[in-house]
Amino acid sequence: MKNIDPLTLTEKTISGIRKGAFLTVKAGDKLNTMAIGWATIGYVWQRPVLMVAVRNSRHTFGLIEKAADFTVSIPLNETMREAVNFCGAKSGRDLNKFKECKLELTDAKQVLSPLIKMAGLHFECKIVLKAPMDPAIMHKDLEKLYS
């Protein structure tokens, strides 16, 4: 795996996330992955950032609240589609998604949360900001998509 400027792959990143990606977080001895289908990539405070939203009802939310980092693994082909869909439909509160989907983990180089071992794009993310997302301030057009 080689290090590259994450913004050189913006189009591939956004396209891949729209199809479904894994967000994986480790907090203490707890580990979970979930599917994400949207994110924002850019620069904040002169640093490359990948921003994701995790609903407070998600099992992953509690882990992210305790963690300093997370990883995002984006499949570049369809071989992981079933696993992404499963991880988006099932909760890590109820089962071990890694075992159920036969997902292999590998150590990240810069963060404690592991990466999902697969062909794809991998982002090792340090949490620089946590902010609540208030549905009351979302544009009304979005409400029908997520209610």
The pLDDT of residue 135 is above 80:
no
pLDDT at 7: 64
The pLDDT of residue 113 is above 90:
yes
Domain boundaries, the chain: 6-146
Q: What is the 3-state secondary structure (H, E, C) of 47-74?
A: EEEEECCCCCCCHHHHHHHHCCEEEEEE
Domain at 6-146: CATH code = 2.30.110.10
pLDDT at 112: 98
DSSP H or E run through 87: helix 81-89
- Kindly report, residue by residue over 28-46, the tens digit of the pLDDT: 999 999 999 989 888 888 8
Average pLDDT taken over every residue of the chain: 90
Give the C-alpha separation, 37 to 14, whole Å: 9
| Farthest-apart Cα atoms in the chain, separation | 42
Q: What percent of the chain has pLDDT over 90?
A: 65
The pLDDT of residue 62 is above 70:
yes
